[in-house]
Amino acid sequence: MQGERTRLLNDVADYYATKLAEHGDTPHGVDWNGEEGQFLRFEQLTRIIAGDALSFSIVDLGCGYGALIEYLRGKFSSFQFTGVDVAEDMVQAAQQRYGDDESTRFIVGSEPDGVVDYVVASGIFNVRMGRTDAEWLDHVKATLDVMDRTSRRGFAFNCLTAYSDAEKMRDTLYYADPCRLFDLCKRQFSRNVALLHDYGLYEFTILVRK
């Protein structure tokens, strides 16, 4: 099981390294259509952060080139940011952009190296690397366990939705059942869970508050 998960994560790293090489440190380089949709996703994910938070620590799991930092800077005055990505090329791109900022750091890996206030993940469950739905769901669950274990105040993630238009769905992508993941989070992680499925994209965001 562990060996298969390692192979899966290596496939993910190779996929996104290729995207970065093709498109550079842009939304297309992390497989998004553009900046507008990327920031709309950030808006949903950062709802996990308490409104009265004067300072907090946050991990972006699957951080890419660090685009979330710009969004956070526009909303919050003080935070400690750790970016984690399985693709070494992504981490290098992030360090080149933000490495001079003492409030940010980046590591190559599949999980945080410590516990922080919040953990968020954007887009890391979309491309299933040729795995079956059952195999990919196991990967999603294992990753959510990591996010729960390494967050004090809560975590948030997004997925493509199984309610997408059938003619627009692609075999290479994973379309999750939002009700199933909501139920999982509610039963396993917290009584305070929010499902956001009303922001105009073929996806949903789940917030798990502790």
Which pLDDT score is estimated for 105?
A: 96
State the average pLDDT over residues 136-148. 96
Is the confidence at residue 183, as pLDDT, over 60?
yes
State the average pLDDT over residues 145-161. 97
What is the 3 state secondary structure string of the chain? Answer: CHHHHHHHHHHHHHHHHHHHHHHCCCHHHHCCCCHHHHHHHHHHHHHHCCCCCCCEEEEEECCCCCHHHHHHHHHCCCEEEEEEECCHHHHHHHHHHHCCCCCEEEEECCCCCCCEEEEEECCCCCECCCCCHHHHHHHHHHHHHHHHHCEEEEEEEEEEECCCCHHHCCCCECEECHHHHHHHHHHHCCCEEEEECCCCCCEEEEEEEC
Q: pLDDT of 72-116, one tens digit each?
A: 999 999 999 999 999 888 899 899 999 889 999 999 999 999 999
State the average pLDDT over residues 192-197. 98
In angstroms, the CA 50 to CA 54 distance is: 9
Average model confidence (pLDDT) across the chain = 89
Which pLDDT score is estimated for 190?
A: 98
Nearest to 91 by CA among 144, 20, 143: 20
Which pLDDT score is estimated for 59?
A: 98
Is the confidence at residue 151, as pLDDT, over 60?
yes
Which pLDDT score is estimated for 126?
A: 92
**Do residues 181 and 136 make contact, with C-beta atoms less than 8 angstroms apart?**
no
Which pLDDT score is estimated for 41?
A: 94
Which pLDDT score is estimated for 53?
A: 78
Which pLDDT score is estimated for 138?
A: 94
Query: What are the chain's domains?
Result: 2-209 (3.40.50.150)
In angstroms, the CA 84 to CA 116 distance is: 13
Which pLDDT score is estimated for 3?
A: 66
